[in-house]
Amino acid sequence: MADFKTKPDELYKSIDHTPPKAGWMDVPAQFRPGNWCYPAKPEVLDYIGFPNGRKWSPADEDWKLPENWKDIIHQGFRERLEKFRSLKIFMDVCVRCGACADKCHYFIGSGDPKNMPVLRAELLRSVYRKDFTTAGKILGKLNGARVLEEDVLKEWFLYFYQCTECRRCSLFCPYGIDTAEITMMARELLNLVGCNINWIQEPVANCQRTGNHLGIQPHAFKDIVDFMVDDIEEVTGKRIHVPMNEKGHEILFITPSGDVFADPGIYTFMGYLMLFDAIGLDYTMSTYASEGGNFGLFTDNVVAKKLNAKMYAEAKRLGVKWILGGECGHMWRVINQYMDTFNGPPDFLQMPKSPITGTVFKNAASTKMVHITEFTADLIKHRKLKLDPSRNDHFTVTFHDSCNPARGMGLLEEPRYVIKNVCNNFYEMPAQTIREQTFCCAGGAGLGTDEFMDMRMRGGLPRGNALRYVRDKYGVNRMACICAIDRATLVPLADYWANGVDISGIHELVGNALILDGEKEREVDLRQEPLPGKEG
């Protein structure tokens, strides 16, 4: 973990939920180390064609804004109100009932009222009232309206980059207001004047250049996969072939690049490859569509559409019938909620049908993309896999419902079904912290960067508290998830709040349990740690 010295007990005691005496408009934004992310580098913004690339810091008094920045924001706001009917509805219908107030992990962990979803939305809504409503123009502050000044813009930057767009608050809103959509719009407006963060825009630039967030070039992508094949052979004694950029296969497999690059995602990737070998899947991967995730979702709708297009473009170029997708979070929110609008319908693809079981995935009729846990659950249901769950007996497992697949896709049962068939020891975290009500990893939406560690650990308190509960009660030592960002951000969260719990993807556990034809007797798991009974 980054150099973060505040101990958990100290952080917990520092949280104060007492309402401030002053009104929220009279409380200035407080920039302090750990609660803001580094700005985008000017060369990154120049590459992707975004305005006002410059060197600056949120800690500076002068943000080097364009001279006409107010006009730019006003015009951008107007255009989005005209284009997105949902934005105008969300600006108008909130009655500030407070149903969402205590649902945000950042509010729970910080006590800052402006991290209540209702108040975070007011940061934008107050300017909307002043500029676009008659009552706001006449009554001003009496109507909850305020003038867009530089301190307001700075407040936007601070708090709309303290939202992971997890949408937990939207689950409790009686009017269906989606604060994540409000955050998206606010970030689009901030982008217009060059107020954005590097942990989002650099992955966008990388993806635009090489097809993935990490900037991995095609030959390097293939080399990394070959290294994984070597490791699989060392564990199983079996050499696996991975088709790459090959035409004429039935399925294109796309996964987040986080599974290609670093622990613990690489073990999930190895599990995918072992699964495909075990069933003889007719598939190929692409070194060009080498990313399922989409940081455009955290940037603006135009960028999201552009970055998403590579998946259908490669599917068409390679002549596949349908697309199988790996364990990723925002990848699947984009696919499930936006892809058909962005880039579809993909009439050149067929209704996804498992070549192994014959199951037709009717839920993918529009996108022609199937989630890997749906696919694997179907294989297990039809008894197409040989599994030895005792190989995972050194783990007592719980499951973190990744926000986007859970709330944005409704993928709740399939991951649990897979885990229960490849592991003997499984326990759920408390009911109000899982499934649709799951708490966020606190590092999504581009906020999983080290300089933001104070807020990440504060925002990680609700998830960490639930994890610590099952660790202490049931001896849980492994939390599985189906999101590449989770596999990165939950590692420091677990170390901080529930030390002793490791993080993995589900298909790492599948790979451990999977019995391959012709494999040698397994001595170690995919991390090359001794299997139960093989110690010493």
Token digits for 468?
């610590």
DSSP state of 334: I
Give the pLDDT band of residue 57 (cuts 50, 70, 90): very high
What's the confidence (pLDDT) of residue 415?
A: 98
Non-local CB neighbours of 278 within 8 Å, separated by 6+ positions: 385, 386, 514, 515, 516, 517
**What average pLDDT score do residues 200-215 get?**
94
**What average pLDDT score do residues 316-320 get?**
98
**What average pLDDT score do residues 310-316 get?**
95
Token digits for 258?
């986080």
Third-level CATH fold of 8-30+51-195? Fumarate Reductase Iron-sulfur Protein; Chain B, domain 2 (1.10.1060)
Read off the pLDDT of residues 376-426 as tens digits, 9 standing for 90 and up: 999 999 999 999 999 999 999 999 999 999 998 999 999 999 999 999 999
What is d(CA 49, CA 304) in angstroms, rounded to the nearest whole number?
14
Closest CA to 373 of 510, 229, 512, 514: 510
Statement: residue 64 has pLDDT above 70? yes
What's the confidence (pLDDT) of residue 442?
A: 96
What's the confidence (pLDDT) of residue 163?
A: 97
Give the pLDDT band of residue 466 (cuts 50, 70, 90): very high
What's the confidence (pLDDT) of residue 536?
A: 73
**What average pLDDT score do residues 173-182 get?**
94
Closest CA to 376 of 361, 390, 391: 361
What's the confidence (pLDDT) of residue 535?
A: 82
Read off the pLDDT of residues 345-378 as tens digits, 9 standing for 90 and up: 899 999 999 999 999 999 999 999 999 999 999 9
What's the confidence (pLDDT) of residue 341?
A: 87
Give the pLDDT band of residue 280 (cuts 50, 70, 90): very high
What's the confidence (pLDDT) of residue 3?
A: 61
Residues across the chain: 536
Give the pLDDT band of residue 18 (cuts 50, 70, 90): very high
**What average pLDDT score do residues 121-132 get?**
97
Alpha helices in 57-197, H assignment, sequence order: 69-83, 85-93, 105-110, 117-132, 134-139, 150-160, 168-172, 179-191
DSSP state of 253: E
Average pLDDT of the chain is 95
Strands 322-325 vs 251-254: parallel, antiparallel or unpaired: parallel
* pTM strictly above 0.85: yes
N-terminal to C-terminal alpha carbon distance within the chain: 30
**What average pLDDT score do residues 200-208 get?**
96
**What average pLDDT score do residues 85-110 get?**
95
